[in-house]
Structure 1
Amino acid sequence: MNDSRSVLVLTNPYDVTTDVVLRLLAQRRVPVVRLDPGADLHTGASLTAAYSTGDQRGTLRTASRDIDTSRIRSVWVRRPSPYEGPPGLSDQDRRFAAEQALWGAGGILASLPGAHYVNHPWNNRAAEYKPTQLSTARRCGFLLPDTVITNDPEKAREFATYQHGGMIYKPLWNTPYRVDDQPHSVWVREVHGHEITDAVSVCPHMFQAKVDKAFDVRVTAVGDRLFGVRIDSPDLDWRHRQDLMTCTPVEIPESVARAVAAYIAELRLTYGAFDFAVTAAGDWYFLECNPNGQWAWQPAETTAAIARAIADQLEKGPDT
């Protein structure tokens, strides 16, 4: 197999979702290099980039292969470990090494000439900001629930008085949180005006009108291909108890498909996981788009179709 046509997959060793796509690429005889830069560069892997006027070259060396990074066809930015620095160093030295790796190795891997990214890490990061998602969604023509993001308790209480159908709180980022030293997830939940305290002033909070939904929908976009799944759950946040939800394929309205295409184009994404709340009247309200959302939990036929679409993107490489 020709290394000049390699696909580089950046993810951690426990990411079993990646294996679904890698099996397809193996069947197609597409060479793949799997790397977890936040960990592997401390355990024998090496990365080199050289720049000069009119030339850029690089080498990625793993336990099994040497790859010319200037000739990689595609990069799949899946779930790499964070850059934390090698163990055994002092806190200060480890922090220094971690930041040098982020800005050095991270910068090299985000700047491979001619590579097709799914998604580019900088586009991923920009698209993860919920204010960016809402602003982009509005411009692209989605229906949006009334939303306020504020650290002013009075503004939050004022917003609550106008939400006669109810209001929900949603964290702006999935920050690791512990209660009694046990991992604790902060789910989307309904909140009432009298529950809003001055603690809101500590940081921005996101409050949103509660959509009177009949069901949820996940739309997975891979390039110009869309895969829709209806989600029926007894919970406001279907992620809370996924064992209680049911998923069935659903047709995506043309207006929603157009808005998804516009959104993907504006934020320069190849992949996006869109979540909607759908009312009994058939109105699709945009909730968020995770540019690197999980997808292998969906029905088997949908999961297989998404895997093929991702494999197609990685195999084709950059547009010519």
Structure 2
Amino acid sequence: MSEVTSATPGATVALVAGVHGGKVAAIHALDVLRGELTGRLLRGRVLLVGPANMAGYLAGLAQISPHDSLNLNRVFPGRADGRPTEALAAKIMRDIVSRSDYLVDLHGSDGDEAVGRFAYAARPGVDPRVDSAAKALAEAWGTPVIVWDDAGPRTLAEARFLQTAAHLSGVPAITVFEAGATREDSAATAAFVRGSLATLRSLGVLGADSGVGAVVGPPAPATAAPSRLFARRAVSIAPAAGRWEPAVAPGAGVAADELLGQFTSSTGERQPIRAAEAGLVLHQRKAGDVTAGTALIIAAVAPHPVPPPRP
């Protein structure tokens, strides 16, 4: 972890990458931001944390740790006396979340999946102020799709995800994905940098005229269209070990009962995987062999009404 600090007090924002060691484009974005932000903050502090799962990153593993085969983003808030990955989660809670006013968890493709541009934010209803601040954080980043999840955990002990654990600790947090199909997509890295800068400007940590951003070029053109807002996500999983062939890609709208892809079991039995309800595809597992329980398609569902553009 590294810190960039201003002499003027302000918000502390944690930017975390590599909770899944295979999300390399996001990790590279933090390397760019270290150079871009140093000496240029208007106020406050930025914590640049990555690779958060260093063991998984060094081992070249997409999501798990080589120490105990656990997925770091499934064990929050962790246990200080637990297995290595659980202890790491507890350390992140203690050293990062507890020091932060806002947190952004940067993800992306790990090479086994293709992803679109979207953000997850929580809306458990425990603290409406934190719920609203998380949604505003996602809007500031600028993804075209936000899943403002009202179906997630409501207690810290059940959190599992870093974003959810931070949120239930009172720290507005989001998980952001930038489009890509490879681990080290340079366009995704540039998009992570732009989104981070936009978010820091919205929080007053970075000034609009700071000169930061030359490395990745100008910001994306502003649009009057608000982000599309959804209430939940729907996950289609592999029913057993077998082979998967997707029929839809990230960004595609799907109707209820629409074909998402074909699953072939290890015995050769073919089974169509269909959408349980209408939605928008966010993640697509690439064609290939999968194990039982693998997420094949993740879609945003239950759209909120779109508010009119701001004048």
TM-score (normalised: structure 1): 0.23
TM-score (normalised: structure 2): 0.23
Rg larger for = 1
Answer 1 or 2: which has greater helix percent.
1
